[in-house]
Amino acid sequence: MRTKVIIFFILINFNVVNAITFSVDSNKILKNLRCLICQGQSVADSNSDFAQTIKIVVKDQINDGKSEKEIYDFLIEKYGEWIVYKPPFNKVNFVLWLFPYIALVSGGVIIFLFLKKRDNH
Amino acid sequence: MLSNIGNTLLFLNILLGISIIYLSLQNLKNRKVLISKSIYHICLFQSTFIIICFFTLVTAFIISDFSIITVYQNSHSLKPFLYKVSGTWGNHEGSLLLWVIILTIFSFLFLLYNKHHAKNYRIYSLIVQNVLILGFLFFLLFNSNPFSIILPIPKEGLGLNPILQDPALAIHPPLLYVGFVGSSIYFSAAVASLLTNYSGKLFAKSIKTWVLVSWTFQTLGILTGSIWAYYELGWGGFWFWDPVENASLLPWFAMSALLHSLIVLERRNLLYFWVIILCLLTFILSVTGTFLVRSGILNSVHTFANDPSRGIYILIFLSLMIFVSVLLFFNKFKNSSYNLNSNSKETFILINNWFMMFYLITVLMGTVYPIFTEVLTDHKVSVGPPFYNTVIIPIVVLFLLFMSVGPQTGWIKNKSYNLNLLLKILIGSILINFCIVYLFKEYSLLSNFIIISAVFLVISSLIDLYKSYKNLKIDTPRIVSHLAFGFLILFIGINYNFSLEKDFNLKLGEKKNFENYSVEFKDLKLQDFKNYKAVIGEFKINNFKENSNQSLYPEIRIYENPSTITYEASIRSGILKDYYITMSNIDRSDYYNIKFQKKPFMMWIWISVIFISVGGFLRLYKNAKKNY
């Protein structure tokens, strides 16, 4: 009974609001882009000429029906990976993406072994 | 004049540091139980001199003595008094002096307040701490001297960077430094503990207060930094995962881990070597952070003071510190037997440390990875908010659940879990999440999990609080901090997911409508202030749903000393939400670019963090009461 109640609530939770939109969110993209001429600011937060240009480029691309990924790829090709705040997963960046999880798993294993060793005492 | 006084005092402090080390080494040889009085006296002199030295610099800033380069470069005679004073530590040289002061005062206080601990341990701590003090004094005197003079004497200073002229930022460095640099004392104590085999509960007792002090102040320091970023940098966020912000967060993770595992060491005499690692790590991370920030190796929004030659010195110093700590650690490390049950408070504290290390490694990795790729592969990458959010947020959910259950468990062996209660809390959390999502009418899978787990922690902590009041076994400090942490994540979650952000261009007199709001550009005027001119806009924000009107006044400021333009956000803080407007001019056009944001529960994020540190202060107070 209790599990049913929980499942019921979880289902409600994930279904009740149908505000999911599949359109491309320009603000989200602009936040993920570095303003190349600023000191550590995103394009969305900057007022520089460069940022204004990129904003127009991104909006045009969205209007052309490009997907989020296509826009990033386009900009990376033009300006290099330096422009995106989320480094793409590739042969240079895989260490960055995988290492935290490796650390997490090995930490868990260490604690597990630590506790298990004691149980064998 | 002031420059001579300052230089003399710095030089005297070097001599005093050397004599403390010499006398301490002599003192180790004799068999007396007590540390000789002369060491106390010299330490007192050392602290007094460095404080006078600091006030000399403050005076130079107040009276605008432009014969001193630091004052000339960072001050201006027309600057308001508060910012003249805070200008003292708003630059590399001055803040380094502040760094040395904290090293010195902590050194003296640690010596003073640990009278009942073993003599050798205290003396070795003092020696190590004075080696650190000397290292930084040399750096200060020969590389970054705050008292260097300039000839001919300029008539007027260059002024402090306007965005640093802010009350939150005036107190930010001192707070953060007490945390950052305060960690040096348990670095020294850890080295001393390894050298003298002064381990276990007594060691834990001797450093407990210092860990707490540094953790509490670090928390407040990070808070003031984010508050400043929120209303000064004009982008409406409070955390950008910028390298400089990360540099303050890294030691915080290490401190939080230490704070918890220290309890295990004190209560059960376990995890000694792990505690030592954390002690060493915290200060090493603090210095690493300083290196990253001051060397200018990283591209950051907060880079105000950097110079490669400083980087080299700090890097050498840092490498030496790491080398010595690692060497010493492996020399002394021995595998001890332990008695740890997998179902006990100890295990949950280990789990806390496990997650803290995960956060630490992720943030460290993200911060330094760009340096490596650039050096090794000539490939420039940026690691920013989307990376950290993707990697960290899902793990926070798990962390919060452990954090809810952990504190209720017993030491040594936990009896049983109240599964029934946990289930009820979970259902309650899901219900509350349902309401929140319904109210804000937005939805994402991950935000649901974050909100549920945060509410789970909040409810668990509240029940904890209620129970402990009933049993009269009140552990308020812990509950306050944990509860506040739960609220913090909850409010951040809501704020992050349900903010409204609009970016549009308006001309004077125009009006923009969207969702339930309209923003009207009512007025524009030019005004003269003491040290800047300002273009001030008036915007009327109409909320149709609540039928309320509010006016906001964002500014474009033109400073003359140094000549800069800054964009000042106008913020209307409310209990439920903040309105946030910035405006900027568009070249060759009558239009202004307007950014409007609605940020729910902003104020509660600050309040939550304040309460996290209130927990720290309460613990300090309780410990002090217990001891006297």
Sites in chain B below the pLDDT cut of 50 = 304
Please tell me if residue A100 touches chain B, with a CB cutoff of 8 Å.
yes
Closest Cα in chain A to B381: A82
Beta-carbon count within 10 A of B574 CB: 15
Report whether B530 contacts B78 (CB < 8 A).
yes
Report whether B147 contacts B68 (CB < 8 A).
yes
First to last CA, chain A: 42
Secondary structure (3-state) at B465:
helix
Q: Quick one: residue B601, left, alpha or beta (phi over 0 = left, psi -120 to 50 = alpha)? A: left
Q: Determine the pLDDT at residue A21.
A: 40
Residue B548 counted as domain residue: yes
Closest Cα in chain B to A104: B358
Chain position carrying tokens 């217990």: B626
Instruction: List CB contacts (< 8 A) between A93 and chain B.
Output: 369, 373, 381
Mutate to test the interface with B, among A8, A36, A115 (most CBs of B within 10 A): A115
**B62, B96, B305 from B86: Cα distances, Å:** 10, 14, 15
Mean pLDDT value across residues A21-32:
73
Sequence letter at residue B363: V
Report whether B452 contacts B480 (CB < 8 A).
no
Report whether B196 contacts B237 (CB < 8 A).
no
Instruction: Name the DSSP letter for residue B153.
Output: P
Q: Which two tokens stand for residue B21?
A: 């080390």
Task: Give how far B24 is from chain A: nearest CA, Å.
Answer: 40
Mutate to test the interface with A, among B344, B351, B381 (most CBs of A within 10 A): B381
Instruction: List CB contacts (< 8 A) between B235 and chain A.
Output: 41-42, 44-45
Residue B424 counted as domain residue: no
Contacts of B533 (CB under 8 A, 6+ apart): B526, B527, B557, B558
What size, in residues, is chain A?
121
CA distance B236 to B238: 7
Q: Quick one: residue B515, left, alpha or beta (phi over 0 = left, psi -120 to 50 = alpha)? A: left
Number of domains in chain B: 2
Contacts of B179 (CB under 8 A, 6+ apart): B214, B215, B216, B217, B218, B219, B220, B221, B251, B252, B255
CA distance B165 to B87: 8
Please tell me if residue A21 touches chain B, with a CB cutoff of 8 Å.
no
How confident is the model over A34-60, as pLDDT tens digits?
988 877 788 888 777 888 889 889 988
Cα-to-chain-centroid distance, residue B476: 23
Pairing of strands B563-568, B577-585: unpaired
Q: Give the residue from B135, B165, B195 where a domain finishes.
A: B165
Q: B383 and A87 in contact by Cβ < 8 A?
A: yes
**B213, B353, B407, B408, B476 from B617: Cα distances, Å:** 8, 22, 19, 22, 11
Helix (H) or strand (E) holding B207: helix B201-232
Cβ pairs A/B, distance under 8 A: 144
Q: Determine the pLDDT at residue B206.
A: 93
Q: Which two tokens stand for residue B173?
A: 């460095």
Domain housing B80: 1-165
Residue B331 counted as domain residue: no
Residue B227 counted as domain residue: no
Q: B358 and A107 in contact by Cβ < 8 A?
A: yes
Facing B382 at nearest CB: one of A9, A27, A85: A85
Please tell me if residue A25 touches chain B, with a CB cutoff of 8 Å.
no
DSSP of B32-99: -SSPPHHHHHHHHHHHHHHHHHHHHHHHHHHTT-TTBHHHHHH--TTS-HHHHHHTTTSSHHHHHHHH
Q: B347 and A115 in contact by Cβ < 8 A?
A: yes
CA distance B488 to A45: 24
Q: Determine the pLDDT at residue B627.
A: 75
Q: Give the residue from B138, B165, B192 where a domain finishes.
A: B165
Q: B382 and A82 in contact by Cβ < 8 A?
A: yes
Mean pLDDT value across residues A73-84:
89
Residue B93 counted as domain residue: yes
Task: Give how far A10 is from chain B: nearest CA, Å.
Answer: 7
Biggest distance spanned by C-alpha atoms of chain A: 68
Instruction: List CB contacts (< 8 A) between A5 and chain B.
Output: 427
Helix (H) or strand (E) holding B523: strand B517-528
Instruction: List CB contacts (< 8 A) between A111 and chain B.
Output: 347, 350-351, 354
Cis upstream peptide for B243 (omega within 30°): no
How confident is the model over A96-107, as pLDDT tens digits?
999 999 999 999
Secondary structure (3-state) at B476:
helix
How confident is the model over B176-198, as pLDDT tens digits?
999 999 999 999 999 999 999 98
Q: Give the residue from B165, B184, B199 where a domain finishes.
A: B165
Residue A86 buriedness (CB in 10 A; 0-12 / 13-18 / 19+):
buried
Residue B85 counted as domain residue: yes
Residue B616 counted as domain residue: no
Facing B584 at nearest CB: one of A44, A47, A108: A47
Residue B190 counted as domain residue: no
Q: Determine the pLDDT at residue B215.
A: 97
